[in-house]
Structure 1
Amino acid sequence: MLKSFYKSTLIAAVVMVTSANAFAADKVYRLKLAETWGPNFPVFGDSVKNMVKMAEEMSNGRLKIRVDSANKHKSPFGVFDMVKIGQYDIGHSASYYYNGKVPNTLYFTTMPFGMTASEQYAWFQYGGGQELMDEVYSAHNLVPFPGGNTGVQMGGWFRKEINTVEDLKNLKMRIPGFAGEVLAKLGATPVNIPPGELYTSLERNTIDALEWVGPSLDLRMGFHKIAPIYYMGWHEPATELMFIVNKKKLETLPADLQAILKVAMRKASYDMYVQSYALSAENWAVMKTEFPDIQVKTFPPAVLSAMKKANDEILEEKASNDPMAAKIIKSQQDYLKLVRVWTDISEYGYIKSTKELAK
């Protein structure tokens, strides 16, 4: 009788555990994501859509993510705070947008005269960059991940040619991040404007010039109709967007779904870089044939030299005033010295040595 009781109790317990596991395996976890971009925004928004789709497919439907664009949540530069407080579970934005709130977020998007995309990804994943980013964001209940790279960005659209450093004085330009600080040191007035307001700001003379991305996105924005002088880049050699996840919310997910979410973000990040590269190549060709009035220029050596000098002085000042900033800056500079030697020998060396053969 007692043996039968224990046996039936054991069977009941096994059934309960099996049912619980089956329930956990079937449970759907719903997350909310806020993006800085408007609905159906090309490339940047594609990165989000790709991540969401992959996460749902890899989880067999157990992980569903609702995306709210800037027109829905009404706060394109408020993504950091909304995810921090748990209003949203995930965000997609750019780290340097939050420089005014958390200064050390500045370094994880891109740095003037810094690493290229391949160099920066190596730093993030194998050079300590991700760990430093984790350290900065962990104080805010956030877990950050690379969220897609544009590659080298163009230097911007200008109404007037920049021939000397004096031409930068009082220039009101949309340019975020560290580059904005560099130009401010040289007398310009940098401003940060949401993507959806860029064209109208240029059209209404609210700003004199702007930088956005590159041919992958710039042509469809129509900036060339107002400011046809297009400068080559110096300020954002590897612009990395970011996914940020509410740490407490992430920890509520089962281990397998946490892993799936991280893999989906990493894959979407790389896919955006490839998409951006492909579209830039295609749109560059279109620009050269269909928009011959666009004047492509390089900043004069004296202007670039002044930018580099200002950049180095600001870096030195930030490092001297903030131990964490000093730690990040040193890590980036040390890694750039290491990796650039190989870049020069490999990619740059290959292109330089075979360029004439391609003609």
Structure 2
Amino acid sequence: MKSLKLTTLVAATAVITTLSLPAFSAEKVYKLTMAETWSSNFPIFGDAPRNMARIAEEMSAGRLKINIDSANKHKAPLGIFDLVRSGQYDMGHSASYYWKGKVPNTLYFTTMPFGMITPEQYGWFYHGGGMELMQKVYEPFGLMSFPGGNTGNQMGGWFKKEINTLDDLKGLKMRIPGFAGEVLAKLGANPTNIASGELYTALERNTIDALEWVGPSLDLRMGFHKIAPYYYTGWHEPATELQFLVNKRAWDKLPADLQQILSTSMKLASYDMYIQSYHESAENWATMQQEYPDIKVKTFPQDILVAMKNANQELLDESAAKDPLAKEILDSQAAYMKKARVWTNISDRAYLDSVDSLAE
């Protein structure tokens, strides 16, 4: 009798265990395609989607495979939104603020001038309602958006001429995307957006007078310092977050466990890109100092920064007044930053101010 009860218990446990497992065929392989804004072998930005694809394949034991096409192949570096929305690709890797001409509310999810730094912004995304608001923006287009890797605080750009007064901004042709471009336009500059592969040529041929790209992590290899010696510190992109776009129909075809694996892989690859970018900036800035001592690091004069901040606030107010969803997003960001910045000030800022004041 005891043996029979034990046998029955083991059999019942096996049935329950089987029923609780995800229903999928171990042999079935799900293949996704991804289009990226970046050219082939583009470092850091291009590393993030490849790391994500590798992690997803390894975690799924080969059941989820993602093939990535660079801009060299699909020929639409700033067309990722449409490529994924149409279903031509299942996924994309780009930056949300590139779509402001199509959907203005997308630009708030990359970074904002005078806004949150990276840890604050990640806190907002994952714990402060940012992800929910981002999905609210992308859902009507059959898309899902996830953080896709952060550069940290970006430099303010490379300039051929020093910027001393507000008049120096008037008529300035500068490659600068996102909300920052609108701020400079309000101050008389002529902002434009150019794909990464065309930046050096545009600067060299005087198509533009200045540009911002990222920071030492990527700027060194681009060679901008050979043409524009003035390197300004940042104000416009304190936490530039790239983006994984996913076609909702493609997402819904995945089993629940692969959806979780894909989500986790994107999150891990994004954080890893932030670490990599920070490291490469430190390494490349040391190289710049040694090999290119003529680079002149500048900070915009106080009156220009004040004018930028005032123009930024005016534009924010205009956006909020025109669109209830924009107001909801901007109010959420402002409230979170106000709360988080108190901690930033008494932790990171206080620490840096304290130790920097000590004699070496």
TM-score (norm 1): 0.93
Residue by residue over 1:83-108, the C-alpha shift from the partner in whole angstroms, topping out at 9 and shown as x without a partner, is: 11110000000000000000000100
Q: Does the aligned pair in 1 maintain the 2:176–2:192 contact within 8 Å?
A: yes
Is 1:335 paired with 2:336? yes
Is 1:156 paired with 2:132? no
Q: Which shows bigger deviation, 349-358 or 268-277?
A: 349-358
What aligned pairs does 1:184-333 form with structure 2 within 5 A after superposition? 184-333=185-334
Q: Does the aligned pair in 1 maintain the 2:147–2:267 contact within 8 Å?
A: yes
Q: CA deviation at 1:24?
A: 1.5
Is 1:81 paired with 2:88? no
Distance 2:359 2:183 in 1: 38
SS in 1 for 2:358: helix
What aligned pairs does 1:46-195 form with structure 2 within 5 A after superposition? 46-195=47-196
Counting aligned pairs with the same residue, the percent is: 68
Q: CA deviation at 1:284?
A: 1.1
- Relative to structure 1, the CA distance from residue 23 to residue 299 in structure 2 (aligned partners, 3 Å threshold; closer, same or farther) is closer
- State the AA in 2 paired with 1:81: D
SS in 2 for 1:187: coil
Distance 2:358 2:235 in 1: 28
Q: CA deviation at 1:358?
A: 6.6
Is 1:28 paired with 2:33? no
SS in 2 for 1:111: coil
Q: Does the aligned pair in 1 maintain the 2:24–2:255 contact within 8 Å?
A: no
- State the AA in 1 paired with 2:270: S
Q: CA deviation at 1:290?
A: 1.0
**Structure 2: 5+ residue stretches without partners:** 1-14
Q: Does the aligned pair in 1 maintain the 2:184–2:190 contact within 8 Å?
A: yes
Distance 1:315 1:224 in 2: 33
Q: CA deviation at 1:357?
A: 3.4
Q: CA deviation at 1:22?
A: 9.0
- State the AA in 1 paired with 2:160: R
Q: CA deviation at 1:356?
A: 3.1
SS in 1 for 2:134: helix
Residue by residue over 1:98-135, the C-alpha shift from the partner in whole angstroms, topping out at 9 and shown as x without a partner, is: 00000000100000000000000000000100000010
Distance 1:314 1:23 in 2: 50
Residue by residue over 1:6-42, the C-alpha shift from the partner in whole angstroms, topping out at 9 and shown as x without a partner, is: xxxxxxxx9xx99xx9972210001000000001110
Distance 2:249 2:68 in 1: 19
Q: CA deviation at 1:241?
A: 0.2
Corresponding residue for residue 10 of structure 1: none
- State the AA in 1 paired with 2:275: V
Report the aligned-residue RMSD.
Answer: 1.4
Distance 1:95 1:168 in 2: 26
How many residue pairs match? The answer is: 342
SS in 1 for 2:89: coil
SS in 1 for 2:46: helix
- Relative to structure 1, the CA distance from residue 358 to residue 54 in structure 2 (aligned partners, 3 Å threshold; closer, same or farther) is farther
SS in 2 for 1:237: coil
- Relative to structure 1, the CA distance from residue 52 to residue 342 in structure 2 (aligned partners, 3 Å threshold; closer, same or farther) is same
Structure 1 runs (4+) deviating above 6 angstroms are none
Distance 2:235 2:256 in 1: 42
Residue by residue over 1:175-208, the C-alpha shift from the partner in whole angstroms, topping out at 9 and shown as x without a partner, is: 0000000000000000000000000000111000
TM-score (norm 2): 0.93
Residue by residue over 1:289-337, the C-alpha shift from the partner in whole angstroms, topping out at 9 and shown as x without a partner, is: 1100100000000100100010000000000000000000100011110
- State the AA in 2 paired with 1:135: K
Is 1:43 paired with 2:38? no
Residue by residue over 1:267-306, the C-alpha shift from the partner in whole angstroms, topping out at 9 and shown as x without a partner, is: 0000000000000011111111110010000000010010
**Structure 1: 5+ residue stretches without partners:** 1-13
